[in-house]
Amino acid sequence: MEQKRVAVLVSGGGTNLQAILDAEAAGLIKSGKVCLVISNRSGAFALERAKAAGVPTAVITKKMYPDQAEFEEKLCEALDAAGIDLIVLAGFLSILSADFTGKYDHRIINVHPSLIPSFCGAGYYGLKVHEEALKKGVKVTGATVHFVNEVPDGGEIIAQKAVRVHPGDTPEKLQKRVMRQAEWKLLPAAIEEICAKLS
């Protein structure tokens, strides 16, 4: 069976990208292969992780293409040129339009660091999600992998995993635990599951 071609879109350190690359190396992802990493920030450390794994990279920033339509057109060009089957948003801090998400319907997934519908939507990303969870006093949080549509964190849920909140947690401690116990497990598993189903 031919492996599906996966692109990972990143903005920062690339810890989720690393989890995907590690899962691929360990044989946990058999049906797909990361063939392209695109960053919307030129200095993103995720690009170094991709290079270390021998994965081609591209940088497409809003500075280069301030117009959303043009920015997305360049993304599409890069994705289509690489023959991408599945797009994974791994800490990609750019909202994508209905035109873009519609073009790749059920072929874009994202990992969000909470149990959707809690602490999600526009403005909820990174540490802010964990700050809000702690403010609310929840005892359980977690991560969600979902399909991406034009509504931030609004697409159909693929998988969720719960993570306990400990007394004395800081947003940083909670973020690390959610990554280790949920995000880094859910995302590779979802990639394998979807790639295996893609025709």
Give the span between the Cα atoms of 190 and 108, in whole angstroms: 11
Q: Which entry of 106, 112, 146, 166 is annotated as an active-site residue?
A: 112
> What residue type is 154 in one-letter code?
G
Angle at 63 between CA 60 and CA 64, to 5 degrees: 55
C-beta separation of 110 from 145 below 8 A: yes
CA-closest candidate to residue 75, choices 95, 86, 60: 60
**146 belongs to the catalytic site:** no
Question: How far is 183 from 130, CA to CA, in rounded Å?
Answer: 14
List the catalytic residues: 112
